[in-house]
Structures are given as C-alpha cells and as structure tokens.
Amino acid sequence: MEAFSDGVIAVAITLLALNLAVDGPHHGSLAHQLGQRWPVFVAYLVSFFTVGIIWVNHHALVEDIARVDRTMLFINLGLLCFIVAIPFGTALMATYLTVPGFDASLAMAIYCAILEGMSLGFGVLFWWTLGDGRRHNPIPPGNRWRVWVRFTMGGAGYVLALAVGFLSAPLALAVVGLIAVYYIFERTPSAYPTRQ
C-alpha cells in the first residue's frame, strides 16, 4: 500500500511541473511571458508543498498502521483519487487566477474542492486507523476525537479558502499556502509519540 501510494504521489508531484512551460520565442519576450505567468509559478510552489506535506503525513500515518485491510485500501484509493486530480486543479486555478470575472472564483473553488476532498479522504483514513488494534501506537479512546479534530482542521481551512475565492482568487491562494505552512508544524500523532 505504501509503495503504490508513494508512486502515485511521486508522479502527481512531478506532473505539477508540466504546467510551467512557456509558449516559446514567437509569443513576446521571455521576461514578459514569465511576468504574465506568475500565477503558474506561485501555484506550482503552493501545490508542490501541499502534496509534499501530504506525503510526509501519509508516510507517518501509514508507517504506524499495524494491519492493512481491504476497507483501508479503498479509503486510501479514494484519497489518491483526489491527489491525482491536484495537478489538473492546479493548472486550472493558475490559468484562471488573473482572469477577470466569475471564472477565477470558479476555478479556485474547484481547486479548493479537490484539496478539501483530499483532506476529507485523509481524515477518513486517519479515523479508520484510530480503531482498536489498527495502530502500533494506539491512541486512548478518550483522546481520539481531540487528536482527529486537530489533525483534520486543515480541511476547514480549504472550505474557508473556497469561500474567500469568491471575493478574491489570489487571496484564496494565499490561504491555501498558509494551510501548507500550518501542516509543516502540525503533525500526525505518530510523529510525537512522547505526548501520548
């Protein structure tokens, strides 16, 4: 399960860079093209670190799983279904970010919805692993809800970003970037066993 997920995430993160390509010599000066395409570069960075942090947390989560069952494989598949769609969502959002009108908000909403789906998939996977006998480092039943909420709080952030996107798409992108920063410091419980 881990090797396959690692492979999918590795391919998805690398495909993010396909969107960076510029149009070539006959479409204005390179500096002008790059300046016009700043959303593509910012979107690459935000999505790269969002997916990268997913991988770090997925890794920490999966490592602690004591027993893989078929249900878990399918929850993981649902999670991967959203991760694989992130390069599409990133390209869509970056293409429309600076287009005036409703389309920028719609593209940002789709991007945020994909990230939200990924976050929910992650939350379901995490919840499933909290069950008795499923983790090497079990979490006491009384703490599970608290630990889970703290871990999946980023999901609320993507809903917020989606809403902000209807006011300003670039501002929503900043919110998504901040969620990535939040997840750098926040972690799965297996990453801080001493606090259990």
* List of residues contacting its own copies (CB under 8 A): 1-4, 6-18, 20-22, 24-25, 29-31, 34, 44-45, 48-49, 52-53, 55-56, 59, 70, 73-74, 77, 80-81, 84-85, 87-88, 91-92, 95-96, 99, 102-103, 106-107, 110, 184, 187, 191
Nearest approach, Cβ of 66 to its own copies (angstroms)? 17
Alpha-carbon 153 to chain mean position: 13
Residue type, 101: G
Nearer residue to its own copies within complex by CB, 50 or 129: 50
Give the CA distances from residue 86 to residues 54, 79, 146, in Å, rounded to whole numbers and listed in that order.
Answer: 12, 11, 29
Gyration radius (Cα) of the chain, Å: 18
Provide the CB-side half-sphere exposure for 129 (13 A, CA): 28
Nearer residue to its own copies within complex by CB, 31 or 167: 31
Nearest approach, Cβ of 152 to its own copies (angstroms)? 19
Nearer residue to its own copies within complex by CB, 98 or 145: 98
Nearer residue to its own copies within complex by CB, 12 or 139: 12
Alpha-carbon distance 196 to 194, whole Å? 6
Nearest approach, Cβ of 49 to its own copies (angstroms)? 7
Pull the structure tokens for residue 37: 């395409």
Nearer residue to its own copies within complex by CB, 100 or 142: 100
Nearest approach, Cβ of 141 to its own copies (angstroms)? 27
Nearer residue to its own copies within complex by CB, 77 or 147: 77
Nearest approach, Cβ of 72 to its own copies (angstroms)? 10
Residue type, 172: A
Q: What is the dihedral of CA 160, 114, 124, 149, to 10 degrees?
A: -20
Pull the structure tokens for residue 140: 């006491």
Alpha-carbon distance 2 to 145, whole Å? 25
Largest CA distance in the chain: 64
Nearest approach, Cβ of 75 to its own copies (angstroms)? 11
